[in-house]
């Protein structure tokens, strides 16, 4: 077996979730702002919010491996942090306890998802290498299809066109 393409800082991840903007996130007392809604987990919100494919960019360039270049790019290795993953969807807050009851308001996922709140409006992506035998500077090399979490549910989706990583 030839293996899977070596993961590189290029292209985008797979993204995850589905956007269903008519989803009611919560029913809250009148006047509650979006940031006052009870947060839900990313796993729960993944069923009705989307985090589309997002560039595979290191969180801090200085922490990446820069002395090894594969196909003209820096490799992604085990436990590398990538830039945080933002959602592009909203959900509705419905109100109760006032007359007349106002219309529901849309709220961005970034203030409703617990992991996005913790990440400052987008959740963290941490590469997890699945190879057991290929190392770069003592760290396992990631490959296409390796996970970028938890908490992220995306996978590495782009890599080297000519360097393959086996088990």
Q: Residue 60: its pLDDT value, please?
A: 87
- Cβ 159 vs Cβ 141: under 8 Å: no
Residue 152, Cβ density class (10 Å: 0-12 exposed, 13-18 middle, ≥19 buried): buried
Give the three-class secondary structure for 161.
strand
**What is the rounded distance in angstroms from the CA atom of residue 76 to the CA atom of residue 129?**
9
**Considering only CA atoms, which of 130, 122, 119, 126 is closest in space to residue 148?**
126
**What is the rounded distance in angstroms from the CA atom of residue 114 to the CA atom of residue 3?**
36
Q: Residue 131: its pLDDT value, please?
A: 96
Q: What is the DSSP string of 105-150?
A: EEEEGGGTBHHHHHTTSSEEEE-----SS-EETTEEBPBTT-B--S
Full pLDDT tens readout for the chain, 167 residues: 479 999 999 999 999 999 999 999 999 999 999 999 999 999 999 999 999 999 999 998 777 777 899 999 999 999 999 999 999 999 999 999 999 999 999 999 999 999 999 999 999 999 999 999 999 999 999 999 999 999 999 999 999 999 999 88
Q: Residue 167: its pLDDT value, please?
A: 84
Dihedral sign (CA 15, 21, 24, 26) = positive
**What is the rounded distance in angstroms from the CA atom of residue 125 to the CA atom of residue 146?**
12
**What is the rounded distance in angstroms from the CA atom of residue 55 to the CA atom of residue 70?**
18
Phi, psi of 72 (to 5 degrees): 80, 10
**What is the rounded distance in angstroms from the CA atom of residue 121 to the CA atom of residue 123?**
7
Domains of the chain, start order: 4-165 (2.60.200.60)
pTM score above 0.85: yes
Give the three-class secondary structure for 159.
strand
């Amino acid at each position: 077996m030839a293996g899977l393409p070596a993961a590189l800082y290029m292209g985008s991840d797979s993204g995850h979730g589905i956007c269903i903007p008519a989803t009611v996130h919560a029913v809250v007392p009148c006047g509650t702002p979006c940031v006052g809604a009870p947060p839900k987990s990313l796993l729960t919100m993944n069923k009705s919010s989307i985090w589309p494919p997002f560039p595979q960019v290191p969180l801090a360039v200085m922490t990446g491996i820069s002395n090894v270049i594969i196909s003209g790019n820096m490799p992604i290795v085990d436990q590398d942090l990538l830039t945080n993953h933002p959602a592009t969807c909203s959900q509705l807050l419905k109100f109760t306890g006032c007359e007349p009851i106002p219309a529901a308001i849309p709220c961005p996922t970034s203030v409703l998802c617990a992991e996005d709140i913790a990440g400052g409006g987008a959740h963290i992506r941490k590469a997890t290498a699945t190879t057991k035998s290929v190392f770069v500077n003592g760290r396992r090399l990631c490959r296409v299809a390796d996970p970028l979490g938890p908490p992220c549910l995306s996978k590495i989706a782009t890599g080297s066109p000519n360097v393959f990583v086996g088990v």
